[in-house]
Structure 1
Amino acid sequence: MPVAVHLFLIREGKILLLRRFNTGYEDGNYSIVAGHSDGNEDVKSAMIREAREEAGIEIKPNNIQFAGVMHRKSDDERIDFFFSADLWDGQIVNMEPHKCDDLSWFEIDNLPPNVIPYIKKAITNYISGVRFDTYGW
């Protein structure tokens, strides 16, 4: 079962969303910095790596907070770990313009309509303090 990591980057009541582009999955819809464990790395290390690869920022392990877990079913079954961070080093830059055509800050309680549904649910859970959920069952 794939293990995915997702990051809520938070600044002044806003969350960073990225619009998927040219990936074949949910293109044109907003998501968050995310990826998969490459194996032989813990989920926090995977999240730090993905933040560097996708947004060009460095996050220290003690600046990433656990936000929740989602057991999700779509085409396959997945475990999604969600983290949050409000402190990082460097400027956020779109490091994957071939997979993402927009990085924008949105009010966390006023998201655009084209957020991937399970991501929207995870953000709602984060706001509400829900640490575990299932989706798609």
Structure 2
Amino acid sequence: MRFVVVPAAYIYLLRDTGGGTEVLLQLRRGTGYMDEHWAAAAAGHVERGETAYDAAHREAREELGIGGLDLVFETTMQRTQHADPVDERVDFFFSARSWTGEPVIVEPEKCAELRWCRLDDLPEPVVPHERVALHHLGTGTAYLTHGF
């Protein structure tokens, strides 16, 4: 059976504090997917003709109003949902510790809140496959799977 692969780029903004590393997360609302779950502050589908890096920069501008990200590739995740085996996903996860501008909610119809959270004390609930990716940040793990 043939299936469609849908690529997406995720951006985790990170900062170090006296209490450890923090990540900027958004509370999803009004999207129809994982609403009321915490997720990457910026993420979205890779569009035709753009690389995952390009998509990450575009999503950061569109969703957070920031630019100049110093992106670090973290991992790729292949995931599936058994309920819809024709819909397969490939997610590219990036982190950034420097950028220009102050992150703000640009799309309030899709995001209820932005919050800096300690990586070792994430809020509940977090989008399940993103919790896996967050757990592997900085570990050098190049490839993850979810849902298989």
Corresponding residue to 2:123 among 99, 112, 128: 112
The answer on 1:26 being equivalent to 2:37 is no
1:57 aligns with 2:66: yes
- Counterpart check, 1:40 vs 2:49: yes
1:127 is displaced (CA, Å) by: 4.3
The structural deviation recorded for 1:123 is 0.4
Specify the alignment match of 2:92 in structure 1. Answer: 81
Provide the residue aligned with 1:15 in structure 2. 23
Offset, 1:117: 0.7
The question of 1:93 aligning with 2:100 is answered: no
**Where does structure 1 lack aligned partners over 5 or more consecutive residues?**
none
The separation in 1 between residues aligned to 2:115 and 2:10, in whole angstroms, is: 16
- Which deviations, in whole Å up to 9, do the C-alpha atoms of 1:64-101 show, x marking residues without a partner? 11100000112421000001100000011100100000
| Equivalent of residue 10 in structure 2, options 3, 6, 22 | 6
In proportion to residue count, which structure has more helix? 1
Q: Percent identity?
A: 40
Instruction: Provide structure 2 residue ranges, at least 5 long, that are not aligned to the other structure.
Output: none
User: How many residues get paired?
Assistant: 135
Where 1:50 maps in the other structure, the secondary structure is helix
After TM superposition, what 4+ stretches of structure 1 lie above 2 angstroms from structure 2? Answer: none
C-alpha displacement of 1:131: 2.0
Q: Which amino acid aligns with 2:124?
A: P
Match of residue 130 from structure 1: 141
TM-score by length of 2: 0.88
Could you say which structure has the larger radius of gyration? 2
